[in-house]
Amino acid sequence: MNINRGPLLLFAGQSNRPLAEEICKYLGIPLGKSETVKFTNDNLIVQYTESLREGDVFIVQSFSTPVSDAIMELLLMIDAAKSASAGRVTAVIPYYSYARSDKKDAPRISIAGRLVADLLQAAGADRILTMTLHSPQVHGFFKVPVDHLSSDVVIADHLRQNVPDAENGVVLAPDSGSIKRASAIARRLNCGLAFIDKQRLTDTQVEPRALIGDVKGKRVYIVDDEISTAGSLVEAVGFAKRMGALEVYVAVSHGVYTGPAIERIAALDAVEVASTNTVFVSDDKVQGSGGKLRVLSVAELFANAISNIHTGESVSTLFE
């Protein structure tokens, strides 16, 4: 099916412009022109410097540090696009950090994942395109269509191409919540699957209790949705090595790398730590990791999804 829409236009906020530029290369279009200015009182102003009238507008913005500025800039860009008579506005959010806040698990707190969804829709977003939500149920917070991409194919292809005899390895889920993702990658690699069973000691402390599966003498691929401070990663890698893993490779969708993450990764007993470019990873972080950080591109996957959305074709076929 090919829907007759206005011209495809892609713009970028300030959080991950390199990814937006790479997406444009795959689409064969220039990155749209816009300006964002921060005043001395920290207020932001956004202005498009080209016509958006009846255009099919896509705005790329990851919710990475500083997260509040990234969200506010995206809201302003959506609102400005609607005011400029854009035909349709799709918010492309490669990393939706508030997906972690998906439930009321403590008294008197906000379900921020839903609140941010409400704000995006109130600003005028007609559609959302995102990748690997920490909690898939966040998808249900939106009343507009949501296309939820998976980085599984990119991670599996990377492991297959860079690990000797990858099919003889074992995908290891660092906790029970990661089993579904780990299982999907294991199927793509046609390799083994294991997971770490954990027990909660206190409200803030969790420790490994048992390993379900066999990793002894094998290459192990620890997969998860994101790395923040890398504390849980250090624990998972150490446990895998104590259980006899030959080598450990780490691959996640979102490399947030905050606080002591880079120092911890540099000291990690792992061959490499790979993440996609849903979050911009600076050269300083790559160098500071002692050469262990790898950045995998999801630009082609996003470009194909944007193209299919623009033409009215299925996005799910990209993962078949």
Which alpha helices (DSSP H) does 3-86 contain, by range?
Answer: 17-27, 67-83
Per DSSP bridges, beta strands 170-173 and 192-200 are parallel
Tell me if the bond preceding 66 is cis, omega within 30° of 0.
yes
3-state DSSP call for residue 300?
helix
CA torsion angle 235 236 241 242 (round to 10):
60
For helices 17-27 and 299-311, angle between their N-to-C axes, nearest 10 degrees: 60
- 241 carries an active-site annotation: no
Strands 44-48 vs 34-38: parallel, antiparallel or unpaired? antiparallel
pLDDT at 204 (0 to 100): 47
Contact criterion met (CB below 8 Å) for 52 and 81 = yes
Strands 219-227 and 247-255: parallel
Residue position matching structure tokens 């990748």:
131
- Answer whether residue 278 shows pLDDT above 50: yes
Residue 122 to residue 120: CA distance in whole angstroms: 5
Under the banding of pLDDT at 50, 70 and 90, the label for residue 99 is confident
- Using one digit for the tens of pLDDT, what is the confidence trace for 200-222? 655 445 677 789 999 999 999 99
- Percent of the chain topping pLDDT 70: 96
* Residue tagged active-site, from 104, 180, 198, 216: 198
Specify the range with the lowest mean pLDDT, choosing from 207-211, 230-234, 248-252, 296-300.
207-211
**What is the C-alpha separation between 184 and 177, in angstroms, rounded?**
13
- The pLDDT assigned to 206 comes to 62
Q: Which of 136, 233, 214, 238 is nearest to 177 (CA)?
A: 136
Closest CA to 239 of 195, 176, 289, 295: 195
Tell me the whole-structure pTM to 2 decimals: 0.94
| Average pLDDT over the chain, rounded to an integer | 92
Name the β-bridge partners of 210: 197
At residue 19, does pLDDT exceed 70? Answer: yes
- Residue 271, pLDDT > 60, answer yes
Q: Could you tell me which of 190, 265, 262, 194 has the C-alpha nearest to residue 223?
A: 194
CA of residue 294 relative to chain centroid, distance: 15
80-94, 139-153, 269-283: lowest mean pLDDT where?
139-153
131-172 tens-digit pLDDT = 999 877 888 899 999 999 999 999 999 999 999 899 999 999
